Amino acid sequence: MILLPDDFVVTPWEVSGDIDYDRLIERFGTQKIDDELVARLVKHTGEMHTMLRRGIFYSHRDLNLILDDHEKGRGFVMYTGRGPSGHTHLGHLMPWIFTKYLQDRFGVELYFQLTDDEKFLFLPELSLEDTKNFAYENALDIIALGFDKDKTRIFLDTEYAHQMYNIALKVAKKVTFSTAKAVFGFDNSNNIGSIWFTSMQAATAFLPSVLKGENIRCVIPCAIDQDPHFRVARDIAEGIGFYKPALLHCKMLPSLAGSDKMSASLPSTSIFTVDSAGDIKKKIGNAFTGGAVSVDEQRKNGGNPDICSVYQYFYYIFEEDDAKLDDRWAKCRSGEILCGECKGDLTARVTGFVAKHQEKREKARDVVEEFMLRDCQGGDD
Amino acid sequence: MILLPDDFVVTPWEVSGDIDYDRLIERFGTQKIDDELVARLVKHTGEMHTMLRRGIFYSHRDLNLILDDHEKGRGFVMYTGRGPSGHTHLGHLMPWIFTKYLQDRFGVELYFQLTDDEKFLFLPELSLEDTKNFAYENALDIIALGFDKDKTRIFLDTEYAHQMYNIALKVAKKVTFSTAKAVFGFDNSNNIGSIWFTSMQAATAFLPSVLKGENIRCVIPCAIDQDPHFRVARDIAEGIGFYKPALLHCKMLPSLAGSDKMSASLPSTSIFTVDSAGDIKKKIGNAFTGGAVSVDEQRKNGGNPDICSVYQYFYYIFEEDDAKLDDRWAKCRSGEILCGECKGDLTARVTGFVAKHQEKREKARDVVEEFMLRDCQGGDD
C-alpha cells in the first residue's frame, strides 16, 4: 500500500504513518466518546480516569447499551486480549490499566484472551511453543496489574481450544473470504489459519454468554487497531443469537522513535516490563524528542513537546497531574528545560514503575493457575 | 463449471458426470494398485478381498511404504472418516468394510474422524447440533460393522477439538489460500471456516504420531473424492515433522439413478442403513437399469448390465461370487432374465443385509462410549 504524505495505516497487524485519530473514527465508523457519555460513565465509576479526561480512551461502539444494561441491573462483562508475540511493553499495559479501573468500579467479570494461535499463524519465525511461553509471560503482567482473581479469567486459545473452537465455528460459518479480504486486506498468499483466525477473536465476545447459558452484553476495551476484528464480530453476532459486542477504543502509545505505536518487533524503541533499569535508561536516552539542534538554540527558541516521544509518555501514562504536565509543556516550549532533564525525569518514573511491577510480576507466578481457564488436556489417552 | 460431454467433476464436495477412474488417477497424480502390489498386500492378509480383485480399491499413494514399515516391524495405523451430513448409506459402508478387513488382517489401530464441523460449515441448512447427532448415528454404523473395540477410536471434531485444533494449526500455517483455491476450487464467497477446514482433516493423519509421541506411518482408506484433502496434507507433512500419509482409494458406489456417487442429498436414489424393508423395496423398484423399452424387446435383444445400477450393486457389494456375477451379466445380456428378477434378487440381498446391520446397530448403542475419543468438556466452569 502506498501512503500519501498525511496518510496512515491501522489494521490489527500493521500500524504506520502519523495516525489521525479523528479520521480513524470516520474510517472505522465508530463513535466519539463525547462529554455526555464521559459524564454518564463517571457517574457510575465515581472518578474521572486520566485516560478518559485526556481522550486517550476516545472512541466506542454501543457503550451506551452497556450502561443501559448496567443501570437496569442486567450486568455486563468485559473482554480484552493480547497477541503473545513477545514480552509485554508499556503500550500493552495502557488499555489494561483502564480495564482494571473499569473492573474495580463496576465489579464485573473480565475474560482475557491470549491469542497464541494468532501469533503462531501470523509470524513465520514463532513456534506454538514460543507463543505459548510468551502468553504465560504476558499473563504475569496482567496479574501484576492487580485484576480481581475471582472475576478475571485468562486463557490461551490453544489451551481453551475445545470451548473456543465450538463457538468460533458458528462465527466462521457467517464470514466469507470476501469480508475477511475487505476488512483485513488478505490475499491469496495468506495462510488458511490466518484467514480463519478472526473467528477465534470474535468468539470470546460470545464466550461469557455460552458459559452462563444466557446472553449478557460484553464490552471490549482495546487499542483501536483491533477494531476490525470486532466489526466482523458485530456484523454476525445477532445472526448467531448473541448481542453485538460493545467497544471502548484507546489511542496507541507512540514508540520512543516518535511515531507509530510502540511495537514489540522494534525492541529498542519500546520499554518492556522485563527491561532492566539500564535498558530503560538507555532506551529513553535514545528517544526521539522535540529538542533543537543545540542547547543554545533550544534555550533561545524552545523545544517542541508536541512531537516529543518523552512528552507523550508523560501524557499517556506517567504524569497524571494535568497542571504538572502543562507546566512541563510550557517550560519545554520556552526553553526553560532541556531534553536531558525530561529524559531523566521519565527514566526515574518508568524505572520506579517497572521495578514495582517486576516485584508484583514475580509474585504473580504463585497465583497464575488460579486465573487460567483451560479445557482438560488431550482427551482420554 | 461447464462439463464437456465426457467430462466429470470429483472433489470432496461435488461428484458429477460419468467418472473415468483411470483418468482420475492421472488428474490426481495417484498410483494404480497393480498386480504386484495386490500380491504383496495379499501375502500379508492371507486373503484376496473382493474389492481388490474387482479393482474397487484401485488407486493408492505410498502403500508400498506402509508395507515396508509393516515388514520391518515398525507398524502403521489407519485413518478414515465420515462427514456426518445425514444417515449412513451403503456407499459409505463400502470403504469401511474394506478398512475392517485391513484392521482384522493387520491388527492395527484405526482412527475414525467424524467431521461434524465440516458439514456444519459447508451445509447452510445444518446446525452443529444436527451434524453432531448425525455423527452419533453414523458411529453406530461404524461399530455395527464389527471394528475392534480395543483398536478403534472414533471422534467428532467438535468433541475432540482441543487435541485437533492444536495439530491443525501447524497444518494451517503451511497452507496458503492460493493452494486451497487451486485444490478445492474455493472463491471469495466461501466462508472462512470452510477454507480452514482441510487443516482439521489433515490433522488426523498426524494425530496417532502426536498421541504416541513418536512418528508412525498412517494409511487412509477412502473414496477417491477425498484425495484432494490428503494431497494438501502430504505436501506439508514433512515440513511439520511427520510422515506423508499413505492412501488407498476406492471407486464410488453409483446411485440408484445410474450415475454419480450415491449421495445422502438425494435420499430416493440411495439406500440408508436406517431404511425399512419397504423403503428398500421401493427404491430398488425405481432404480435405473439397462433394461429395454418393453419385455418383448428385452427378451429379444437383452439388457445392458454395464449401465445398470442394480448390476452395479451386485458388483460392488452384494455378489462376492465372480461366477454368479458373470452368470447374471450374461443372462441379462441375452435377455434370459429381466429387470424385475434382478431387482427382486437385489432387494432380498439388501433387505437381509440391512436387517442384520440394524440389529447390530441397535446393540452398538450400548458400547458407543467405549469407542469415543473426547477432550474433557468445556473447561473448568
Question: How sure is the predictor about A12, in pLDDT bands with cuts at 50, 70 and 90?
Answer: confident
Chain A residues lying within 8 Å of B211, measured CB to CB: 381
CA–CA dist A55, A28 (Å, integer): 17
Strand partners, A194: none
Chain A contact for B32, CB < 8 A?
A: no
Tell me whether residues A121 and B173 touch, CB distance under 8 A.
yes
Band the pLDDT of A6: cuts 50, 70, 90.
low
CB A256 within 8 A of CB A283: yes
Cβ(B154)–Cβ(B139) below 8 Å: yes
Let me know whether A145 and A276 are in one domain.
Answer: no
- End-to-end alpha carbon distance in chain A: 49
The owner of cell 464521559 is A38
Assess whether A237 and A273 both reside in one domain: no
Identify the pLDDT of residue A11.
82
Do A45 and A186 fall within a single domain?
A: yes
Do the Cβ atoms of B188 and A174 come within 8 Å?
Answer: no
State the average pLDDT for chain A.
94
Banded model confidence at residue A378, pLDDT cuts 50, 70, 90: very low
Is residue A290 within 8 A of residue A306, CB to CB? The reply is yes
pLDDT category of residue B307 using cuts at 50, 70 and 90: very high
Q: Chain A: nearest CA to B15, how far in angstroms?
A: 23
Which of A4-18, A59-73, B77-91 is predicted with the least confidence, judged by mean pLDDT?
A4-18
Among the listed ranges B32-46, B80-94, B206-220, B250-264, which one has the minimum average pLDDT value?
B250-264
The CATH number that applies at residue B149 is 3.40.50.620
Looking at residue A10, its pLDDT comes to: 84
Asked whether residue A311 is domain-assigned, the answer is yes
Spatial distance between the Cα atoms of A32 and A251, rounded to a whole number of angstroms: 12
Region A296-300: mean pLDDT is 94
Q: How many CA atoms does the CB half-sphere of A365 hold within 13 Å?
A: 6
Residues 194-233 of B with CB under 8 A from A: 194-196, 198-199, 211
Domain count, chain B: 2
Give the three cell numbers for residue A176: 466469507
Element (H, E) at A152: strand A152-156
Cα–Cα distance list, B346 to A58, B304, B313, B349, B372 (Å): 74, 17, 8, 5, 34
* Residue for grid cell 445410474: B258
Same domain, yes or no, for A311 and A234?
Answer: no
Could you tell me the pTM of the whole model? 0.93
| CA distance, residue B225 to nearest chain A CA (Å) | 21
Instruction: With cut-offs at 50, 70 and 90, classify the pLDDT of residue A381.
Output: very low
Asked if residue A4 belongs to a domain, the reply is no
What are the two backbone dihedrals, phi and then psi, of residue B100, each rounded to the nearest 5 degrees? -65, -40
Cβ–Cβ of B177/A190 closer than 8 Å?
A: yes
Q: Give the residues across from A221 on adjacent strands.
A: A248
Kindly report, residue by residue over A103-157, the tens digit of the pLDDT. Answer: 999 999 999 999 999 999 999 999 999 999 999 999 999 999 999 999 999 999 9
Residue B255 lies in a domain: no
Q: Are residues A33 and A134 in the same domain?
A: yes
Do residues B238 and B289 share a domain?
no
Which member of A158, A173, A373 has the closest CB to residue B193?
Answer: A173
ipTM for the assembly: 0.93
Q: Tell whether B257 is covered by a domain.
A: no
Nearest chain A residue to B166 by CA distance is A158
**pLDDT above 90 covers what percent of chain B?**
88
Is the pLDDT assigned to residue B108 strictly greater than 80? Answer: yes
Looking at the structure, tell me whether residues A278 and A346 fall in a common domain.
yes
pLDDT at B378: 42
What value does the mean pLDDT take over residues B118-124?
Answer: 97
Tell me if A62 is assigned to some domain: yes
Find, among B40, B39, B53, B24, the residue nearest to B223 by Cα: B24
The reported pLDDT for the residue numbered A15 is: 82
| Contact between B281 and B266 (Cβ < 8 Å) | no
How would residue A79 be classed by pLDDT, with cut points 50, 70 and 90? very high
pLDDT tens digits, residue range B172-197?
Answer: 999 999 999 999 999 999 999 999 99
**Mean predicted confidence (pLDDT) in B363-380:** 83
Contact A223, A250 (CB under 8 A): yes
Q: Does some domain include residue A7?
A: no
The residues that bridge with A217 in the sheet, in sequence order, are: A76
Q: Are residues B177 and B318 in the same domain?
A: no
Task: Determine contact: B345 vs chain A, CB below 8 A.
Answer: no
| pLDDT value of position B4 | 53
A149 belongs to a structural domain: yes
Helix (H, G, I), strand (E, B) or coil at A80: strand
Domain that holds residue B174: 21-250
Q: At which of A224, A250, A276 does a domain end?
A: A250
CB contact under 8 A, A376 and B375: yes
The three three-digit cell numbers of residue A121, written as one number: 499463524
Please judge whether A195 and B195 are an interchain contact, meaning their C-beta atoms are less than 8 angstroms apart.
Answer: yes
B49 and B193 in a single domain? The answer is yes
CA A264 from centre of chain: 13
pLDDT at B203 over 50: yes
User: Looking at residue A189, what is its pLDDT?
Assistant: 96
Nearest CA in chain B to A165: B161
- Note whether A167 and A209 are same-domain residues: yes
> Do B328 and B280 fall into the same domain?
yes
Supply the pLDDT for residue B1.
Answer: 47
Is residue A9 less than 8 Å (CB to CB) from chain B?
Answer: no
User: Could you tell me the sign of the dihedral formed by the alpha carbons of A165, A166, A169, A170, in that order?
Assistant: negative
Using DSSP's 3-state secondary structure scheme, residue B264 falls into: coil
